[in-house]
Amino acid sequence: MAKQRILSGIQPTGNLHLGNYLGAIRNWVDLQEEYDAFLFMADLHAITVPHDPKRLAEDTYKVAATYLACGIDPEKATIFVQSHVSAHAELAWLFNCITPLNWLERMIQFKEKAVKQGENVSIGLLDYPVLQSADILLYEPDLVPVGEDQKQHLELTRDIAARLNFQFGSEETPVLKVPEPMIRAEGARVMSLTDGSKKMSKSDPSEQSRIDLTDPPEVILKKFKRAKTDPERGLWFDDPARPECHNLLTLYMLLSGQTKAAVAAECREMGWGQFKPLLAETAVAALAPIQARYTELMGDRTYLETVLKTGGEKARTLANQTLDRVKVALGYAMPL
Ligand code: TYM
């Protein structure tokens, strides 16, 4: 039987952080063993807010190197650059014409990012989830493994697929496959180190709010030392009054690979002065092999280019099949 497929991506905007790793990449590494994995750099999404053209290509390679350094294996997974597959932009246009405007106006991420942009809100920012729907539906994945913040975009993707199937397909022969989101219970929402009620984010102006995957040990130690906490003694999970405590314990659990019960027992009596260095050391140890491999990969551009070229070819073949099927369903005269 053919393997089931997963698809996911990350925007090459700024440094990747522990949220990207624990909410997304770490899960892909596990899933690639069992699933046919398509993983990409969402560089078309990266220009929906003002961007620096001098950094875009370099940031794209950095994300590719991070995937590989974290353990994505190009023999098992297809790794590619979104802009190398023109079907993404083309299918997004077709979807634009069947997607009601008010579906996009209520997207939380749009509303949040639009506020930050002030006057300078592009149509691309509003249209972002339609492009994301195209990214996903082109590859007919069974599952889309993402962090919690992408849930609304995946619901929209399912709605667009259902609408297109309803308007242009039949129940027996749907045009598009409707995928399921895959959001793991743990790590799906890593919170900021400066405010336990906000998610850790690449776009937070405060560097102190996140641990970047490339942060050196002394920076990791300093950031955890300064992380916001509370005056309680003893540490425990799941207390809504202690969001920072829950977040830091969860990070320790995921980075040390222990169970929740083991961490709860180990840390029950601890104060912050004892716990913070322990968490920092654990993070440094977990990131050390990733950082070493990342540095090696960033020094071997030829290898990265080969991986992305091979991935791009495979992605284009699959994506074009879906694009053609949609065009036929919409009634286009196809090129001979
Ligand atoms: P992006 O680049 O913001 O984030 C990439 C992945 O990391 C997850 N993530 C988090 N998980 C846990 N805690 C956090 N604090 C945290 N911050 C980010 C995200 O949920 C995501 O899984 N729109 C997407 C990129 C995209 C995409 C796609 C994803 C474009 N097309 C198609 C899946 C399928 C985004 O901006 O992710």
| pLDDT one-digit tens code per residue, 17-41 | 999 999 999 999 999 999 999 999 9
Annotation marks residue 151 as catalytic: no
Arithmetic mean of pLDDT, 189-218: 96
113, 177, 228, 314: which is the annotated catalytic residue?
A: 113
pLDDT at position 287: 98
pLDDT at position 1 is 80
Percent of the chain with pLDDT over 70: 100
Q: What is the pLDDT of residue 115?
A: 86
Which residue's entry shows tokens 């207390």?
239
Helices (H), the chain: 18-20, 26-31, 53-70, 87-96, 101-105, 108-117, 123-137, 151-168, 217-226, 243-256, 260-267, 272-298, 301-330
The model's pTM: 0.96
Reported as half-sphere exposure (CB side, CA atoms, 13 A), residue 130 has a value of 25
Instruction: Please state the rounded mean pLDDT for residues 315-325.
Output: 98
Ligand 1 pocket member 44 (CB < 6 A) = no
Q: Is the CB of 135 under 6 A from ligand 1?
A: yes
Phi-psi region of 258 (alpha: psi -120 to 50; beta: other; left: phi over 0): beta
Residue 165, pLDDT score = 98
The response to whether residue 8 sits with its C-beta less than 6 Å from ligand 1 reads yes
pLDDT at 167 over 90: yes
